[in-house]
């Protein structure tokens, strides 16, 4: 089944210079392994194609059921230089949550993902 | 020794809720009030203010904040720690003491002043001694922009704040100390944590990171279940209740709005995070992958398990330099075909700037209401009711940027139709003060503590 990342995670983003960070947190601790498997750095880089000029780095925080992504070259120079509305990367979080995941039906059922019919 | 030390956050940045410090002091029991005023470019703003008026150069709001909590300090022994001194700590301390005197509290405040972070007067000396102060992001040496540097401050750690507290300061004022040191220092002072007790120091840093953005850990800007977070109008700012063993609980005063839960705290933990295994501070490197959170009652989150390791032999330096000019203008285009009209206006504007021979380092046009924040991910807009064209330029030539600001309004009469929203007048030209992060050997920075009563 297909589902939006928004339905299984919440997120917050911020900035460091020209880099935006997005921390993605599983809404249910049981869903963290799914996120860790699906949200590869490559996948996230592909998602943000055309919006960032640099690479994507990924870090795992299993203790917080969270992944942290650094999106380099995301902020038109960053901070005070940037001409962007979102010069500090505050809402890259929600942009990532637009991602659509394709999860095998059986797994979706086991994990009780939102939208699964019992 | 106290069993529990309560550090309350009262400001998350310069410009935060002016009434929050008072609510923290009056809403219940606290031992320390921590006020964080500094963002990356704040020091440069303060430096510019000081250039215009030698009596300025610190966070003026801070004096009002101290006034609003004066009785808590003088009667209940609440101590305040703030990085409000900017680039003019003597003036900041004098203003606080003068206010106290005017309020009949002369002699009742002991102000601890921490200096030594300001490297601006020593820049040339440091560069000629071989300290390149290379940009951490680009690797370029500072000499490239030396003539444009207007502020340079080392991020200093908890040591001098601990000293000021040990010497009896009731209000500690620093310049560019790290945000997290403001919370960790009082814990170190109260519990006597050794300078190499890495796990406990790291715990203090994590507590600091959680509360340094004020209500952003207690329900503010929280995506998780945001509709049901109660009473944000009266949001409770966070309090870290810490124990000597390095465990602590994040909470807020009873009767306040907002929420302290595992999700609200987790969102703040990942805010502005880099490599979570190495949160580098002057005192310790904290490992955020060791943090354990658990709900320990309503609006109480217990934090434990934190590991730390020795810091590096460098301090980060925040350098601000003049980097040209920018201006951003906006117009609102309205249904039908709002997006097409805005795009047409963008093309016309670009062509006019080109014909005028104006050259910029960068031109950016965004459609607010369509794709300004989510870009191509936003998908097709459809025939939206309205969209804002937001058009910005930046470059080294002030005159060119100024000329640009006169090209927005004419579009209302001589561009695409159904346009409005220009009542604000011409866009303002802003000087860009950019941020240059660098490293310096710790041995080059000497802090000093002075107690003024």
Please give the ipTM for the structure prediction: 0.98
Is B177 among the domain residues? yes
The total number of structural domains in chain A stands at 1
Say what the pLDDT of residue A118 is: 58
Together in a domain, B306 and B323? no
Last residue of a domain, one of B312, B340, B370: B312
- In CATH, what number is assigned to the domain containing residue B420? 3.30.70
In this structure, are B272 and B380 located in the same domain?
no
Round to whole Å and give the CA distance between B246 and A2.
44
Q: At what angle do helices B89-102 and B61-68 cross, to 10 degrees?
A: 40
Residue A43 contacts B where some CB pair is shorter than 8 Å: no
- Are residues B89 and B200 located together in one domain of the fold? yes
Same domain, B90 and B173: yes
Residue B76 has a CB neighbour count (10 Å cut-off) of 13
If phi > 0 it is left, if psi is from -120 to 50 it is alpha, else beta; for residue B104 that is left
The answer to whether residue B143 is domain-embedded is no
Task: Tell me: do B284 and B402 sit in the same domain.
Answer: no
Q: Answer yes or no: do B210 and B340 share one domain.
A: no
Question: Which of B297-316 are b and which e, b meaning 16 or more Cβ less than 10 Å from the residue's Cβ?
Answer: eebebbbbebbbeebeebbb
A115 falls within a domain: no
Collapsing DSSP to helix, strand or coil, B6 comes out as: strand
Pick from A23, A68, A84: CB nearest B364: A84
Within a domain: A80: yes
Residues B66 and B193 grouped into a single domain: yes
In a domain, A57, yes or no: yes
A117 found inside a domain: no
Asked if residue A55 belongs to a domain, the reply is yes
Is-contact B395 B325, C-beta < 8 A?
A: yes
Q: SS3 sequence, B38-97?
A: CCCCHHHHHHHHHHHCCCCCCCCHHHHHHHHCHHHHHHHCCEEEECCCCCCHHHHHHHHH
CB pairs under 8 A between A and B: 127
Residue B198 in any domain: the answer is yes
- Answer yes or no: do B305 and B329 share one domain: no
Q: Does A46 have pLDDT greater than 70?
A: yes
Torsion-angle region of B379 (φ positive above 0: left; ψ -120 to 50: alpha; else: beta)? left
Q: Is B255 inside any structural domain? A: yes
Please list the pLDDT of chain B residue by residue as tens digits (453 residues). 899 999 999 999 999 999 999 999 999 999 999 999 988 778 888 988 998 999 999 999 999 999 999 999 999 999 999 999 999 999 999 999 999 999 999 999 999 999 999 999 999 999 999 999 999 999 999 999 999 999 999 999 999 999 999 999 999 999 999 999 999 999 999 999 999 999 999 999 999 999 999 999 999 999 999 999 999 999 999 999 999 999 999 999 999 999 999 999 999 999 999 999 999 999 999 999 999 999 999 999 999 999 999 999 999 999 999 999 999 999 999 999 999 999 999 999 999 999 999 999 999 999 999 999 999 999 887 899 999 999 999 999 999 999 999 999 999 999 999 999 887 789 999 999 999 999 999 999 999 999 999
Please count the other Cβ atoms lying within 10 Å of the Cβ belonging to residue A49.
10
What is the reported pLDDT for B380?
A: 83
- Length of chain A measured in residues: 118
Domain boundary, last residue among B290, B312, B334 = B312
Would you say residue B147 lies in a domain? no
Could you tell me if B90 and B171 lie in one domain? yes
Q: Confirm if B73 and B170 have CB atoms less than 8 A apart.
A: yes
Q: Please report whether residue A82 resides in a domain.
A: yes
Q: Which domain holds residue B417?
A: 319-434
The residue among A81, A97, A52 whose CA lies nearest residue B323 is A81
The reply to whether residue A51 touches residue B375, judged by beta carbons under 8 angstroms, is yes
Interior CA angle at B212 toward B207 and B213, to 5°?
130
For B183-195, the pLDDT digits (tens) are 999 999 999 999 9
φ and ψ at residue A72, rounded to 5 degrees: -80, 145
Rounded CA-CA distance B187/B193 in Å is 8
What is the 3-state composition of chain B as percent helix, strand, coil, each rounded to the nearest 5? 35, 25, 40
DSSP 3-state of B8: strand
- Mark yes or no for CB contact B434/A21 under 8 Å: no
Does residue B324 sit in the same domain as residue B353?
A: yes
Measured on CA atoms in the order B86, B91, B94, B95, is the torsion positive or negative? Answer: negative
Question: Is B131 part of a structural domain of the chain?
Answer: no
CB contact under 8 A, A50 and B368: no
Is residue B371 domain-resident?
yes
CB contact under 8 A, B275 and A21: no
Q: How far is A110 from chain B (nearest CA, A)?
A: 23
State residue B41's pLDDT score.
76
Same domain for B287 and B349: no
Question: Is the CB of residue B221 less than 8 Å from the CB of residue B192?
Answer: no
Q: Structural domain of residue A50, as residue ranges?
A: 2-110
A79 and chain B in contact, CB less than 8 A: yes
**Cβ atoms within 10 Å of B322's Cβ, excluding its own:** 17
Distance CA B346, CA B391 (A): 8
> What crossing angle do the helices spanning B159-166 and B181-191 adopt, rounded to 10°?
50
Is A86 within 8 Å of B328 (Cβ atoms)?
no
For residue B47, what pLDDT is reported? 86
Q: How many domains, in total, are found in chain B?
A: 2
Question: B330-347 burial by CB neighbour count: b if 16+ within 10 A, else e?
Answer: bbbbbeebbbebbbbbbe
Q: Taking a C-beta distance cutoff of 8 angstroms, is the pair B345, B411 a contact? A: yes
Chain B residues with CB under 8 Å of A25 CB are 224, 263, 266-267, 270
Instruction: Judge if B22 and B81 occupy the same domain.
Output: yes
Hunting for tokens 């505050």 — which residue is that? Answer: A90
DSSP state of B177: B
Distance (Å, rounded) from C-alpha B57 to C-alpha A69? 36
Cβ contacts (< 8 Å) between A79 and chain B: which residues?
40-41, 434-435
Q: Which of B252, B285, B312 is the last residue of a domain?
A: B312
| A116 part of a folded domain | no
Helices (H), B2-41: 20-26
Residue B415 phi/psi, 5° resolution?
Answer: -125, -160
pLDDT of residue B236: 98
The residue with tokens 């109480």 is B300
DSSP state of B175: S
Q: What angle do CA A71, A73, A77 make, to 5 degrees?
A: 130
| Mean pLDDT, residues A39-55 taken together | 98
Q: How far is CA B306 from CA A24, A39, B94, B155, B292, in A?
A: 21, 26, 39, 23, 7
Find all residues with CB under 8 Å of A86, minimum gap 6, and list them: A75, A92, B372, B373
Q: Which of A23, A66, A68, A83 to mutate to test the interface with B (most CBs of B within 10 A)?
A: A83
């Amino acid at each position: 089944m297909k589902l939006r990342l928004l339905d299984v995670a919440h997120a917050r983003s911020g900035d460091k210079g020209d880099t935006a960070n997005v921390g993605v947190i599983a809404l249910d601790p049981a869903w963290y392994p799914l996120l860790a498997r699906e949200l590869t750095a490559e996948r996230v880089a592909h998602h943000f194609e055309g919006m960032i000029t640099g690479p994507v780095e990924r870090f795992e925080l299993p203790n917080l059921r969270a992944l942290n992504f650094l999106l380099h070259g995301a902020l038109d120079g960053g901070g005070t230089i940037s001409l962007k509305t979102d010069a500090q990367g505050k809402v890259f979080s929600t942009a990532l949550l637009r991602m659509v995941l394709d999860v095998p039906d059986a797994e979706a059922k086991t994990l009780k993902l939102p939208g699964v019919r019992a | 020794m106290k069993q529990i030390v309560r550090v309350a956050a009262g400001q998350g940045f310069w410009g935060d809720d002016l009434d929050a410090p008072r609510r923290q002091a009056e809403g219940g029991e606290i031992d320390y009030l921590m006020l964080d005023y500094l963002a990356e470019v704040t020091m440069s703003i303060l430096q510019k203010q000081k250039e215009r008026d030698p009596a300025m150069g610190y966070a003026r709001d801070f004096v009002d904040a101290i006034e609003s909590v004066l009785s808590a300090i003088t009667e209940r022994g609440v101590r305040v720690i703030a990085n409000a001194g900017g680039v003019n700590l003597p003036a900041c301390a004098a203003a606080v003491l003068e206010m106290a005197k005017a309020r009949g509290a002369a002699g009742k405040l002991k102000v601890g002043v921490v200096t030594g972070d300001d490297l601006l007067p020593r820049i040339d000396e440091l560069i000629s001694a071989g300290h390149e102060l290379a940009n951490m992001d680009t690797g370029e040496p500072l000499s490239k922009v030396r003539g444009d540097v207007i502020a340079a401050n080392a991020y200093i750690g908890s040591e001098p704040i601990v000293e000021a507290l040990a010497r009896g300061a009731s209000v500690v004022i620093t310049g560019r100390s790290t945000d997290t040191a403001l919370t960790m220092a009082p814990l170190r002072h109260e519990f006597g944590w050794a300078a190499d007790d890495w796990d406990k120091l790291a715990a203090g840093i994590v507590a600091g990171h959680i509360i340094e953005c004020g209500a952003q850990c207690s329900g503010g800007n929280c995506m998780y279940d945001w509709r049901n977070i109660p009473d944000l109008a009266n949001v409770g700012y966070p309090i870290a209740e810490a124990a000597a063993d390095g465990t602590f609980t994040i909470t807020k005063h009873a009767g306040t709005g907002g929420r302290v839960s595992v999700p609200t705290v987790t969102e703040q933990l990942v805010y502005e995070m880099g490599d979570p295994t190495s949160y580098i501070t002057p005192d310790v490197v904290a490992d955020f992958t060791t943090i354990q959170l658990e709900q320990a009652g309503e609006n109480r989150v217990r934090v434990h398990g934190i590991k730390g390791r020795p810091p590096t032999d460098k301090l980060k330096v925040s350098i601000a330099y003049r980097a040209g000019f920018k201006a951003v203008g906006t117009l609102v285009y309205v249904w039908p075909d709002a997006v097409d009209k805005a795009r047409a206006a963008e093309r016309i504007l670009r062509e006019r700037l080109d014909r005028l021979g104006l050259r910029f380092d960068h031109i950016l046009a965004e459609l607010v209401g369509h794709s300004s924040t989510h870009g191509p991910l936003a998908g097709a807009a459809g025939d939206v009711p309205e969209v804002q064209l937001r058009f910005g330029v930046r470059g080294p030539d002030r005159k060119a940027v100024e000329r640009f600001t006169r090209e927005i309004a004419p579009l209302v009469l001589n561009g695409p139709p159904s346009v409005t929203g220009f009542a604000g007048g011409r866009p303002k030209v802003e000087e860009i003060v950019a941020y240059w992060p660098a490293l310096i050997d710790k041995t080059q920075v000497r802090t000093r503590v002075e107690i003024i009563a």
